[in-house]
Amino acid sequence: MPQSSQETPNNSYPGAPVRRLEDYGLLTGSAHFVDDLQLPGTLCAAFVRSPYAHALVNRTNTEEAAKAPGVVAVHTLPDLQPRLTDTRMATGLPSRSLRLDVKPGVLAGDEVVYAGEPVAVVIARSRYAAEDAADLVEVDYEPLDVVADCRSALHTDSSAVHRKLSHNMAAAFEFDYGNTEDAFRDADLAFRESFHLHRGGAHSIECRGAVARHDPATDHLTLWTSTQRPHGIKRVICDLLGRNDDSVRVIAPQVGGGFGPKLVCYPEEVVIALCATILQRPVKWIQDRYEYFLSTTQERDQYWDVEIALDSDATIRGMRGALLHDHGAYTARGLNVPYASGITLPLAYNIPAYHLDVYVALTNKVPVTPVRGAGQPQGVFVMERLLDRAAGKLSIDRAEVRRRNLVRKEQMPCRKSLRLRGDTEVILDSGDYPATQELALKHAGWDSFRERQQSALEQGRYIGIGLANFVEGTGRGPYETVTVRINASGNVAVASGATAMGQSTQTMLAQIVAEQLGGDPSRIGVTCGDTDATPLGFGGFNSRQTVIAGASAHAAARAVKAKAFKLASRLLEAAEHDLEIDGRAVFVKDAPDRRLTFAELARAASGLPGFKLPVADMGPGLEATESVIIDDMVYANGSAVAEVEVDIDTGRVTVLRFLVVHDCGRRLNPVIVDGQVLGGIAHGIGNALFEWMGFDEDAQPVTTTFADYLLVAADNMPEVRLFHLESDSPFNALGVKGVGESGCLPTPAAIVSAIEDALAPFGAKLNQAPLTPAVLWELIRSAPDSAPDTAPPGHWRAPDIDKDAYRQESLDGR
């Protein structure tokens, strides 16, 4: 069982482990997920998907499928095109670094570029009928050369992922500050390492799915979809279907996990919405797990080739190198994953000079978008492995090397020489990184580990310990709108563009509002993820909602409280500073009988026909809408220590103990924070040891069931201990930072560090993740024969790349 210790107890509503508003529905099974929607007359959809990673589509024959029992319609892109303003979906973020404009299609046209790309849709009276008929759609494919590996994608003789393009360099950009040449020229120690980091999919329990309904009387289109970003989906649908904003409503019902991939708009969402308007019947599509493996975005491969320069006392002088990132076949979100990887490397430490060339390569695989952590775990991994290596070369303890380079408390707020993707500054807002590490070392018994290791070794057991620090950028702006209203019935209603996908967003917002209005958060109703309830919004990603939506909820609740006090002051004839609020009423502190309930106040504020409002300079109603603008991110940090045992007969790793000291500023609800961190750690353990999205040389996915693709289950979780520091952020009124992703940031780095420590007798050098038993066993077996400088598995040397040789091109020929 995980243990958690609160270093800073706090009993006010924010800070208290209140029960989640979401619990009743989720624990009793009465919550509604998208597949629970049973609209009368609903038709079911199944998609025909490309079996090839790259092929021309010469001809599609839907006749047989259309005649199959129960089938209502079969559509290909040419059928839908007259009703679309464009055949491609603009779902990515803009960037000047993009060389190739490769937007995903609504359906594939004359070319398919990954196995699983949707080519046609079958709509039928039942799911069975739709799936059976999908098998009858005849597609004449002409296979083309496949780009299966991002390392060969940039070779000048590589075939193109898209036949219409001349190269595969989706983007090239760099991070650059300080003088790296000087840093390396005068260094006491400089060395170069390469890394191969693989992450798989996100694998939320609920796969994707959507239901659409069109109301002909009002020409309103409603789409319920399992998404992290209903507002983003609505934008794409309005644009592609040529609809005005008032005629489209997108709702995220209960979402059974997102973890990143549900933040982009997918072809199926557009097709389902369009088919509902064409057929004038509700249409439902529910993705199964096989389709999730094929067509839901993933994170996959990164290859790094990096050098670090240090003084003999382990002070870092600079770093330089290259990152090659597998982008997949389309730009579904943008460059945020490799950008986040590159920016994460120098965050936690003082690094005077940094240069990183980032190459983003197209491959004939499903597009890459963020998976929990969004490239940051890879950046942490590379940085932490380099520091371990430096420690070894300098014969200085691994923790000491870090101690000498961590950003110190007195440097806060610390302006880094880096820019975020939107060109805003990177300012580490608060935190005591060295103290965080010290606490982790203390709880882990770091100093006494060598004795434990020695006595284990005497029994033939190979145990090791590893450490990793991380700093995570959280709370991506610019805003999230929140409306707080006291209704005439006396209840408090909150609506936000924030979107819940299982991370207790409603409870978080309710706690913040309850702090201002008093009372029990469970009496507050919260509506999230509905574009009609809150027309402007962004949704859930980037560990942002507590920071961004939280700030607006805080401001809106304060505004409503001010209105309630102003009104009560007038009606009770008492000074505002003599009033108190308890979640149900406003009353006079010294005379609690002089009170007005929320219902009374709300009715008074809404006015009576022909009568003046009670307060002349206050508008009607007890309601406020706020969109607090936040440009700078806030930075959570933490230190993880892993203890592992390696079975040298098989290479199998057991994580014996794992602990994280975590600092996300003020914790609004410690139980929810623990849940988020633990979930992230589980994901990180998967990335360290298990999760592998395999493709063969034809870019065919080979791990498409959970029998092949391993996830961390409850029984693979080690004992985890969590400890918290609370360095309130000075950048927002609540002092909070995000927590949704942080657990997975240091976990692979700490575990691989520990494995390398356990296998020190074999001289193992570990520069990749995940590490399977077979890889480790091979290292153990070959140890006596291999030279100390043998390239480890996953070795990659950045080739000389002339960035200017890759032209700006577009699939549309623009």
Partner 1 sequence: MKYIEPASLPEALEILSADDEARCLAGGATLVAMLNADLVEPSTLIGLRRIDELAGISVSGDHIRIGATTTHAQIAGDDRLTGNAAVVRDAARQIAHSAIRNMGTIGGAVCHADPNADFPGALVAANAVLEAAGQSGRRQIPADEFFLDYLETSLEEDEILSAVMVPVEPVGARGRHLKFSRTHGDYATISISLVLAINSGACSHARVAVGSAGPAPVHLAEVDALLTGSDLSGETIKQAGQKLMEAADPVDDVRGSAEYRRMIIPGLLQRAVDELR
Q: State in angstroms the smallest separation of the CB of 774 from partner 1.
A: 4
Asked if residues 469 and 747 have their Cβ atoms less than 8 Å apart, the reply is no
Question: Is the Cβ of residue 702 or residue 760 nearer to partner 1 in the bound state?
Answer: 702
Question: Is the Cβ of residue 449 or residue 692 nearer to partner 1 in the bound state?
Answer: 692
Q: State in angstroms the smallest separation of the CB of 717 from partner 1.
A: 11
Residue 716 interacting with partner 1 (CB under 8 A)? yes
Alpha-carbon gap, residue 463 to 466, rounded angstroms: 10
Report the residue from 157, 458, 649, 785 that binds partner 1 according to the rule CB under 8 A: 649
Q: Angle, to 10 degrees, between the axis of helix 230-241 and the axis of helix 267-279? A: 50
Q: State in angstroms the smallest separation of the CB of 135 from partner 1.
A: 8
Question: Is the Cβ of residue 719 or residue 778 nearer to partner 1 in the bound state?
Answer: 778
Alpha-carbon gap, residue 564 to 586, rounded angstroms: 8
Q: Angle, to 10 degrees, between the axis of helix 545-572 and the axis of helix 598-606? A: 80
User: At 493, phi and psi to the nearest 5?
Assistant: -120, 135
Report the residue from 715, 789, 802, 804 that binds partner 1 according to the rule CB under 8 A: 715
Q: State in angstroms the smallest separation of the CB of 126 from partner 1.
A: 15
Alpha-carbon gap, residue 62 to 632, rounded angstroms: 52
Asked if residues 51 and 119 have their Cβ atoms less than 8 Å apart, the reply is no
Whole-angstrom CA distances from 531 to 223, 257, 480, 485, 620 are 10, 20, 12, 17, 24
How many other CB atoms are there within 10 angstroms of residue 472's CB atom? 34
DSSP assignment of 552-600: HHHHHHHHHHHHHHHHHHHHHT--GGGEEE-SSEEEETTEEEEEEEHHH
Q: State in angstroms the smallest separation of the CB of 373 from partner 1.
A: 21
Residue among 568, 592, 91 nearest 297 (CA)? 91
Q: State in angstroms the smallest separation of the CB of 701 from partner 1.
A: 12
3-class SS of residue 19: coil
- 675-714 residues in contact with partner 1 (CB under 8 A) are 690, 692, 694, 702-703, 707-710, 712-713
Segment lying near partner 1 (by CB under 8 A), choices 101-109, 214-222, 314-322, 645-653: 645-653
Report the residue from 69, 650, 760, 782 that binds partner 1 according to the rule CB under 8 A: 650
State the number of binding residues for partner 1 (CB under 8 A). 23
Q: State in angstroms the smallest separation of the CB of 25 from partner 1.
A: 24
List beta partners, residue 197.
Answer: 302, 769
Alpha-carbon gap, residue 440 to 403, rounded angstroms: 12
Q: State in angstroms the smallest separation of the CB of 455 from partner 1.
A: 20
Residue 536 interacting with partner 1 (CB under 8 A)? no
Residues 6+ apart with CB under 8 A from 402: 349, 387, 437, 467, 469
How many other CB atoms are there within 10 angstroms of residue 69's CB atom? 11
Asked if residues 448 and 683 have their Cβ atoms less than 8 Å apart, the reply is no
- 753-792 residues in contact with partner 1 (CB under 8 A) are 772-774, 777-778, 781
Report the residue from 66, 290, 783, 801 that binds partner 1 according to the rule CB under 8 A: 290
Question: Is the Cβ of residue 184 or residue 290 nearer to partner 1 in the bound state?
Answer: 290
Question: Is the Cβ of residue 127 or residue 795 nearer to partner 1 in the bound state?
Answer: 127
Q: Which residues of 150-178 are buried (b: 16+ CB within 10 A; e: fewer)?
A: bbebbeeebebbbeebebbbbbbbebebb
Question: Is the Cβ of residue 63 or residue 778 nearer to partner 1 in the bound state?
Answer: 778
Residue 461 interacting with partner 1 (CB under 8 A)? no
Alpha-carbon gap, residue 609 to 587, rounded angstroms: 27
Question: Is the Cβ of residue 591 or residue 713 nearer to partner 1 in the bound state?
Answer: 713
Residue among 804, 708, 801, 802 nearest 303 (CA)? 801
Question: Is the Cβ of residue 24 or residue 706 nearer to partner 1 in the bound state?
Answer: 706
Question: Is the Cβ of residue 455 or residue 650 nearer to partner 1 in the bound state?
Answer: 650
Question: Is the Cβ of residue 140 or residue 778 nearer to partner 1 in the bound state?
Answer: 778
Q: State in angstroms the smallest separation of the CB of 649 from partner 1.
A: 3
How many other CB atoms are there within 10 angstroms of residue 702's CB atom? 12
Q: State in angstroms the smallest separation of the CB of 773 from partner 1.
A: 7
Q: State in angstroms the smallest separation of the CB of 650 from partner 1.
A: 5
Q: State in angstroms the smallest separation of the CB of 30 from partner 1.
A: 23
Question: Is the Cβ of residue 134 or residue 673 nearer to partner 1 in the bound state?
Answer: 134
Alpha-carbon gap, residue 49 to 34, rounded angstroms: 22
How many other CB atoms are there within 10 angstroms of residue 64's CB atom? 14
3-class SS of residue 811: coil
Q: State in angstroms the smallest separation of the CB of 385 from partner 1.
A: 23
| Site residues, partner 1 (CB under 8 A) | 290, 649-650, 652, 690, 692, 694, 702-703, 707-710, 712-713, 715-716, 772-774, 777-778, 781
